[in-house]
Amino acid sequence: MNLSFFDQFTSPYLLGIPLILISMLFPALLLPSPNNRWITNRLSTLQLWLFHLITKQLMIPLNKNGHKWALLLTSLMTLLLTINLLGLLPYTFTPTTQLSMNMALAFPLWLATLLTGLRNQPSIALSHLLPKGTPTPLIPALIMIETTSLLIRPLALGVRLTANLTAGHLLIQLISTATTALLPIMPTISLLTALILFLLTILEVAMAMIQAYVFVLLLSLYLQENI
């Protein structure tokens, strides 16, 4: 029984084809068709408004030099948002529940922000390792602490996204199993757990969007320190 709870974190197959690949084709249906006008219907208007809102929120803490990262950060936000929401569909798989994928996204982007700071303003980038006014006896210890804090950032990004999504999926699995098991025995309690499951599903949809936003926002804040 314990192993069955984690079966949802393996990609289901149909005729040898991973269903997550099929589900990821659905967002392509939302892309506007080629036209000589920017806005053709309400859907394209909503899409443009959403992209503008995401880009605006991510670019607020950055100066003009950081605006070069707008396309990368907005694309990453869209990718994570799409994957997280598609993973809530039945018979699909959430790749962002795998630490390997999240680390593959977090580490190169964090390293890029760090190398950007070391290349453009090395003295300011290195000064973050030692706060101003630090007593002399505490300098070696603080440098070690700040260096560890800096190096652990990509791990924190990946683990945060993995842990939150995994916990939400497991909780939904547990409550849905309880709802099914209680239905023939105690229908009233089963209906109550079904209501809790519905509210939890809404919360998980919000969590999927929030975690995608937090992941990209933290990257933009790391970038702000280095430009």
Kindly report, residue by residue over 97-154, the tens digit of the pLDDT.
Answer: 888 889 999 999 999 999 988 888 888 777 777 777 778 787 888 888 888 988 999 9
In the prediction, which pLDDT does 32 show? Answer: 58
Res 4: pLDDT: 59
Q: Which pLDDT score is estimated for 150?
A: 87
Give pLDDT, residue 95. 82
For 184-207, how does the pLDDT look when each residue is reduced to its tens digit (9 = 90+)?
Answer: 888 888 899 999 989 999 999 999
162 has pLDDT over 50: yes
Predicted confidence band of residue 37 (pLDDT cuts 50, 70, 90): low
Phi, psi of 18 (to 5 degrees): -60, 130
Residue 2 has pLDDT above 50, yes or no: no
Q: What average pLDDT does this structure show over 152-158? A: 92
pLDDT of residue 48: 80
Which pLDDT does position 7 carry in this prediction? 60
Residue from 48, 44, 47 nearest 35 by CA: 44
Q: What is the pLDDT of residue 28?
A: 63
Burial of residue 163 (CB within 10 Å: 0-12, 13-18, 19+) is middle
pLDDT at 40: 67
Q: What is the dihedral of CA 44, 80, 208, 202, to 10 degrees?
A: 30
The string of DSSP letters for 108-161 reads HHHHHHHHHHHHH-HHHHHHTTS-TT--GGGHHHHHHHHHHHHHTHHHHHHHHH
pTM (2 d.p.)? 0.80
Which residues partner with 18 through β-bridges?
13
Query: What is the domain partition of the chain in residue ranges?
Result: 28-226
For residue 14, list its beta bridge partners.
Answer: 17
Q: Which whole number is the average pLDDT over 1-24?
A: 63
